[in-house]
Structure 1
Amino acid sequence: MGTPPRTAATVVRRVWTSYAFRRVLQSVFVIWLVSTITFLLMHFMPGDPIEIMAGRLNSAGMSHDQALATAQNLVNYDPDASAWGQYLDFLKGLVTLDLGNSLTNPSKSVLEHVMEYLPWTLFSVGAGVVLAVVIGVSVGMAMAYRRGSGFDHAMTSIGSFLTGVPNYILIAAVVVLGYTVLGILPFLDMRGRITAGVEPGFDPVFLGDAAFHAILPILAFAFTATGSFMLNMKAATTEVLTEDYVTVARARGLKPGRISRGYVGRNALLPVVPQIALQMGMLVGGSIVIEQILDYPGVGQMLMSAIADRDYPVVQAAVIILATSVVIASLIVDLVLVKIDPRIKSEGQDA
């Protein structure tokens, strides 16, 4: 007998019960939840954009009435609008990808404002994670192959230290030691995103200058992630080395390099891959502190300024974009892992 023809109901049922569809729904729910919480937090904070700007103008010498009138003209915000109406407009803009304009700079759209800063944070965080993966995976495998040795004990201690100490403390120590004590770190020249006078473009001068200014943020983001990758890769590799298929491969006389790459490394990486998306999320969230310390104008520094100004659309857009990036990265990692290791899909269906 041939296979029964697929009906529309059958196709819908298969899509509805598929692992990929359920993960997409979970991702959409997480993005909505983060967006709603951000909206509520911003609108229930004391003070509104008009009051904040009026207070600054008043401190600069303006009378209270003049400062309030000036702030009302400069800030595109209606303090009398209902919170429910603002939330519905916010959801509509979220669905249509129209997040409005900045309250403190109405001539510029929110997306334009965020995109001036976001690429710099993603560059520094992404480079830090790549550096951490390369070092952490390599050293972690070496630790597993030489477990119990002095190298293993030393690297385990270093990995634990890097994981346990906040990266902003580590990078602050680097700046103090290199700039203040030894005088070999040109910290003042490294502040900012690019050197004044350097024109943006895909040329060696701009790219080299941007990399020079991003060295400290990249190191800061790599510190904690490297220690975590080292310890997790060591644990995963140690477990894989005890598997029967590795013993069989050795008995067949395969070269150690082939066993290490094709049997051990590939399988040991499986539990480490999801950690990449998790680290991206943690580091992007931690960019607020790092960028403030290092005076690196990325999305973290922009977010702090927008919160201080109560620029609701900018804060909401920045948080949503960062959260969406992390959620999508996690979704892609999960879907790739399902292809590599179908047991994940089976476990999800059983649950």
Structure 2
Amino acid sequence: MTAPVAPTPQPSVADGTPPRSAASVVRRIWTSYAFRRILQSLFVIWLVSTITFLLMQFMPGDPIEIMAGRLNSAGMSHDQALATAANLVNYDPNASIGSQYLEFLKGLVTFDLGNSLTNPSKTVVEHVMEYLPWTLFAVGAGVVLAVIIGLSVGMAMAYRRNSGFDHAMTSIGSFLTGVPNYILIAAVVVIGYTVLGVLPFLDMRGRITAGVEPGFDFVFFGDAIFHALLPILAFAFTATGSFMLNMKAATTEVLTEDYVTVARARGLKPGRISRSYVGRNALLPVIPQIALQMGTLVGGSIVIEQILDYPGVGQMLISAISDRDYPVVQAAVIILATSVVIASLIVDLILVKVDPRIKSEGQDA
């Protein structure tokens, strides 16, 4: 009778679990919710970039001819102007659309989208990045202000539903949501500056006051906030009304859930119930709206920045379109779309941490 063969010892780690193989690690990453959301975001960015490239192909006028005309009017010969323009724009008009598209994708990956037609000494990315941070600052501050006010007031409305406070705040929220923010901020400027004379609108135009040097100090930040105050309020108007109404609806629904009734029956303090049971669950349907509001407000910055004379990316985009600076228009659209997609991705990943059910539902699908 043969003796039983001893089992082959399995490699183990300190906690007793066998180490994962490289294939299982790759499989886990491939099937993870975060990885799939990142792939979806990259696909959206590629799709927007491709559509933008095709639209620029059918826009009237040749970028090289436009820049060459400006260089020629500055005293440069026609042939030299054409050669200089072709080198700066990074665009070959005689190449096929396929070749141009491949060069465009290469430039997109390496952040090399050519030079601005109106300012050939700067690349397109450098030109856009001079304006984009100011718009993101104003929009971001407006959304933060709207989140703080809207969610707090919306929860209070749900707790005091059918009261005078609820009816008044519901009317205000509906008004802020229904009326365009550029009309509201225009009314603020007219009443504050023209009628009452208490709003220093002329001094608030622009990015910073002349003579103030950018830096990490209170003088610069205070002056930047002073000039961005009206755009921040404009961006906060619509978002605040939307957050108020949505938070009220979500909180009202959560207050009727059985686990809230059980928590009250257990004698838990109202503050703990509000934080741990009501607030956390009421936030779930509101969190995705933050990214949607970011996208809406960034897209609507064009009108706000024109009205308030705030030199952000919206105002830059209008100037680039009027000057037919197609490389800048193309880059601005792509960067704005990418910012919105990244904001949406971050909010989705945060939402998964708050509510793991989304992750499991996505894996089941």
TM-score for the superposition, normalised by structure 1: 0.90
- Mean CA deviation greater in 86-95 or 104-113: 104-113
Q: Which segments of 5 or more consecutive residues in structure 2 lack a partner in the other structure?
A: 1-15
For residues 336 and 219 of structure 2, the distance between their equivalents in structure 1, rounded to whole angstroms, comes to 29
Q: Contact between 1:76 and 1:106, CA under 8 Å: does it hold in 2?
A: no
Secondary structure of 2:332's aligned partner: helix
- Please say if residues 120 and 298 of structure 1, whose CA atoms lie closer than 8 Å, have aligned partners that are also in contact: yes
Q: Is the 8 A contact 2:173 2:241 kept in 1?
A: yes
Aligned residue pairs total 350
Contact 1:284 1:322 in 2 (8 A): yes
CA contact (8 A) 2:352 2:359 kept: yes
Report how far residue 347 of structure 1 moved. 2.2
8 A contact 1:49–1:309 mirrored in 2: no
**CA separation of 1:192/1:7 partners in 2, compared to 1, >3 Å: closer, same or farther?**
same
Cα distance, 1:98 vs structure 2: 2.5
1:168: how far off? 1.0
- Return the offset for 1:267: 1.4
Deviations 1:212-233 (A, max 9, x none): 1111100000000000100110
Deviation of 1:31 (Å): 0.4
Q: Quick check: 1:172 aligned with 2:167?
A: no
Structure 1 residues without counterparts, runs of 5 or longer: none
Mapped to 2, the partners of 1:282 and 1:322 lie a distance apart of 11
Give the distance between the partners of 1:285 and 1:210, measured in 2 at CA: 22
Q: Return the alpha-carbon distance in structure 1 between the equivalents of residues 102 and 129 of structure 2.
A: 24
1:33-81: CA deviation from partner (whole Å, max 9, x where unpaired): 1111111112211223355568889999999999999988997765444
Q: Which moved more, 1:319-328 or 1:148-157?
A: 319-328
Range with bigger deviation, 107-116 or 229-238: 107-116
Root-mean-square deviation (CA, aligned residues, Å) is 3.0
Residues 83-123 of structure 1: CA deviation (Å, up to 9, x unaligned): 33222111001122333322332221222111111111111
What secondary structure is seen at the aligned counterpart in 1 of 2:300? helix
Q: TM-score normalized by structure 2?
A: 0.86
Q: Residues of 1 paired with 2:87 and 2:129: CA distance?
A: 26
Going from structure 1 to structure 2, the CA distance change for 1:115 and 1:73 (only over 3 Å counts) comes to closer
Output one character per residue of 1:193-227: Cα deviation in whole Å (capped at 9) or x when no partner: 11112221222222211111111100000000000
Residues 77, 103 of structure 1: 8 Å contact kept: no
Shift of 1:125: 0.4
Contact 2:89 2:114 in 1 (8 A): no
Please say if residues 200 and 206 of structure 1, whose CA atoms lie closer than 8 Å, have aligned partners that are also in contact. Answer: yes
Structure 2 CA distance for partners of 1:82 and 1:132, relative to 1, 3 Å: same
Q: State whether residues 75 and 104 of structure 1, in contact with CA within 8 Å, keep that contact through their aligned partners in structure 2.
A: no
Within the alignment, does 1:102 sit opposite 2:116 as a pair?
yes
Please report how far the alpha carbon of residue 300 of structure 1 lies from its aligned counterpart in structure 2 after TM superposition: 0.9
Contact 1:76 1:103 in 2 (8 A): no
Seen in structure 2, the aligned counterparts of structure 1 residues 238 and 171 have a Cα distance that, compared at 3 Å, is: same
Distance in 2 (CA, whole Å) between partners of 1:231 and 1:60 is 57
| In structure 2, distance between residues paired with 1:327 and 1:43 | 24
Using the TM superposition, name which of 79-88 and 66-75 deviates more. 66-75
Higher mean alpha-carbon deviation, 324-333 vs 69-78, is at 69-78
Q: Deviation of residue 302 (structure 1)?
A: 0.9
1:288-328 per-residue CA deviation (whole Å, 9 max, x = no partner) reads: 11101111000111112122223233222222222222212
Question: Which residue of the partner structure matches residue 253 of structure 2?
Answer: 239
The structure whose Rg is larger is 2
Partner of 2:170: 156
Deviation at 1:26, TM superposition (A): 0.4
Contact 2:295 2:340 in 1 (8 A): yes
Identity among equivalent pairs (%): 91
Deviates more, 1:207-216 or 1:64-73: 64-73
Q: CA deviation at 1:149?
A: 0.9
- Change over 3 Å in CA distance of 1:4–1:54 after alignment to 2: closer
8 Å contact from structure 1 (residues 34, 323) kept in 2: yes
Pairs within 5 Å for 1:329-344: 329-344=343-358
| Worse-superposed segment, 42-51 or 257-266 | 42-51
Are the counterparts in 1 of residues 29 and 35 from structure 2 also a CA contact under 8 Å? yes
Deviations 1:219-273 (A, max 9, x none): 0000000001001100111111111121111112121112111211111111111
Tell which deviates more after alignment, 101-110 or 132-141: 101-110
Say whether the 8 Å CA contact 1:111–1:317 is kept in structure 2: yes
